[in-house]
Amino acid sequence: MPPAADRLPRVVAGSGVSRIPANGIEIAYETFGRDRDVPLILVMGFSRQMLGWHEDFCDALSRRGHFVVRFDNRDVGLSSHLHDAPRADIQAGLAGDTSSASYRLEDMAADTAGLLGALGIDSAHVVGISMGGMIAQTMAIEHAARVRSLTAIMSTTGDPEVSQPSPEAREVLLAPPARTRDVVLDRAVTNTRVIGSPDFELDETEVRDRAALAFDRAYDPPGLARQLLAVWASGDQTERLAGVRAPTLVIHGAKDRLIPLAAGRATAAAIPGARLEVLDDMGHDLPRPLWPRIVELISGHVEEAERTLAAA
C-alpha cells in the first residue's frame, strides 16, 4: 500500500488562478501537480467556491500522482456570474415551481466538460462533493467519454424521498442571505456546527479565514439562488444513473444532516457496480483529520480504474 498522502514529499504548489472560456462562459481554475500525471477534476458543491477544496487537500492528491484541477462553478467565485439572468424565485421553487431556473445541472456538467476540453484534457477522473457530486454524476451520463471514473462525495440522486435534510440543516440551507462580511463569517461557523462533523473539534479560525477569502473574492447571493434552483429544477436522476458506465465510488458520512446517508446509499444502488464507503464520523464537510482517508479512497479508486482502462 502506498504511504499516507500526508507523509509524502511535496511535489508542486498550485499554479495560480487562471480564467478560460468554456461552454459560453469564463471559468476560473487552478491546477496542482504535473500535467503529465493522471488528470483529476474536483467539482465543488452548492454556494462554495473552489476554495472549498483546500490547497493542502489538492496537494495531497497531487502527491499521489494526479494532475488536479479545481475550479469555480458558474455564479460563484471568479467564474462568470449570470447577472442578467431572471431572478430565481426560491419561494416558488419550494412550492415545486422551478420555472425561474436559469440553468440546470446539465449546464453545469457541460461547463465542467467544457473546461476539460479547453485545457486539452480528453478525459479525467471526476470527483464531486454535494451538488458537485450531482454535477459529476450528470457529467457521467451526458459526457461519458470525458469521465474515466466517478467519485461522488456526500451527494444524492435528487430523489426527495432520500434527500431530506434535518430541520436544523434545512434552516441552514434556506436562511436569508447575510448582508455583511461579519455576518457571513459568523454564519460560516454556526452553519459548520450544524451540518459539519460533530466528532471533530471545530477550528473556528480556519472556518472564518476560508469564509473571508471567499467573501473577498466574490459574494453574490442572487447567484447562489440560481444554483439552488438549478438543483431543484434538475429533479430525480435515479433512472438516468442506471446508464452510468464509469467506475464509481460513493463516499458518504453517517452523520450527514444536510444530505443523509440514505441518499448516498441510493446513489450507489442506482449506478451499476458502484461501491459505497461510509465514513462513520463524517458529516457534511471535509474535516482535516479525514483527509488522509478520503485521499486514499479517491486515489485507490483512480488507480483501479486506470488499471481497468489499461487492460481494456
pLDDT at residue 13, rounded to an integer: 57
Interatomic CA distance for residues 299 and 295, integer angstroms: 6
Enumerate domains of the chain plus CATH numbers: 5-311 (3.40.50.1820)
From the centroid of its chain, how far is CA 144?
18
| Residue found under cell 476539460 | 116
For residues 272-299, average pLDDT: 98
For residues 79-94, average pLDDT: 96
- Give the Å distances, CA to CA, from 246 to 117, 146, 152, 167, 231: 19, 10, 12, 35, 22
Q: Is residue 203 predicted with pLDDT exceeding 50?
A: yes
For residues 74-102, average pLDDT: 97
Q: Taking the CB of residue 269, how many other CB atoms lie within 10 A of it?
A: 16
| Residue found under cell 457530486 | 133
Write down the mean pLDDT value for the chain: 94
For residues 10-27, average pLDDT: 83
Q: Of all residues in the chain, what percent carry a pLDDT higher than 90?
A: 95
The strand pair at 38-43 and 124-129 is best described as parallel
Interatomic CA distance for residues 163 and 166, integer angstroms: 10
| Residue found under cell 500500500 | 1
φ, ψ of residue 252 in degrees (nearest 5): -145, 145
**DSSP assignment string, 74-96:** TTSTTS---TTSPPP-HHHHHTT
C-alpha cell read off for 264: 448516498
Q: Taking the CB of residue 308, how many other CB atoms lie within 10 A of it?
A: 12
pLDDT digits (tens, 9 = 90+) for 301-311: 999 999 998 99
**DSSP assignment string, 146-164:** GEEEEEEES---S-TTT-P
For residues 141-161, average pLDDT: 98
Nearest Cα neighbor of 305 from 8, 10, 66 is 66
In which band, very low, low, confident or very high, does the pLDDT at 8 lie, cut at 50, 70 and 90? very low
For residues 261-268, average pLDDT: 98
In which band, very low, low, confident or very high, does the pLDDT at 12 lie, cut at 50, 70 and 90? very low
pLDDT at residue 14, rounded to an integer: 77
pLDDT at residue 312, rounded to an integer: 80
In which band, very low, low, confident or very high, does the pLDDT at 11 lie, cut at 50, 70 and 90? very low
For residues 163-172, average pLDDT: 96
Nearest Cα neighbor of 236 from 163, 173, 167, 169 is 163
Interatomic CA distance for residues 225 and 185, integer angstroms: 19
Report the sign of the C-alpha dihedral through residues 208, 132, 176, 201, in that order.
negative
Are the C-beta atoms of residues 206 and 189 closer than 8 Å to each other?
no
